[in-house]
Amino acid sequence: MKLTNLLRFGSRASMAAIFLSSGIDVMKHPEGRAEVVKEFLDQVRSVVPGLPEDNVTLVKANAAVQVGASVLFALGFGTRLTAWILAATLMPTTYAAHAYWRIEDPKLRSMQKTHFNKNLGILGGLLLAALESKKRTE
């Protein structure tokens, strides 16, 4: 295996790990996350008719997509598509769960700002993977 291929695998696996770990945790314990994103999902429902009312189901579905896409992404199957899928699930999660600008407490605000910025970094890596040329020169 070429070094560049090994580095690509390691990069994909490290980005995928957070989605796999978090997704499994959310699927086991979705209630807390469903409460955190309630306001956001209510806003989405106002513009997306027919979205199910059960927040727990929506949170579990998002987590299941993240788990499946992260495994495929890490293994290099459909890398560009799975990177787009992970990015698409990360954006609303970041906005809904890490809205630091709404938090008054300085410590909690700082913590959520760190998570928000971490997710922006992951999003950047996913977008690079999604835009990577199909034909690589190595």
Give the model confidence (pLDDT) of 111-134 as tens digits.
Answer: 999 999 999 999 999 999 999 866
65, 10 contact by CB (below 8 A): no
67, 27 contact by CB (below 8 A): yes
Could you give the CA distance from residue 24 to residue 6 in angstroms, rounded to a whole number?
26
Query: What does the mean pLDDT of the chain come to?
Result: 93
Residue tagged 């993977």 (tokens): 129
pLDDT above 60 (res 138): no
User: What is the percent of the chain where pLDDT is above 70?
Assistant: 96
- Amino acid letter, 82: T
Could you give the CA distance from residue 6 to residue 86 in angstroms, rounded to a whole number?
21
User: Residue 103, SS3?
Assistant: coil
pLDDT above 60 (res 101): yes
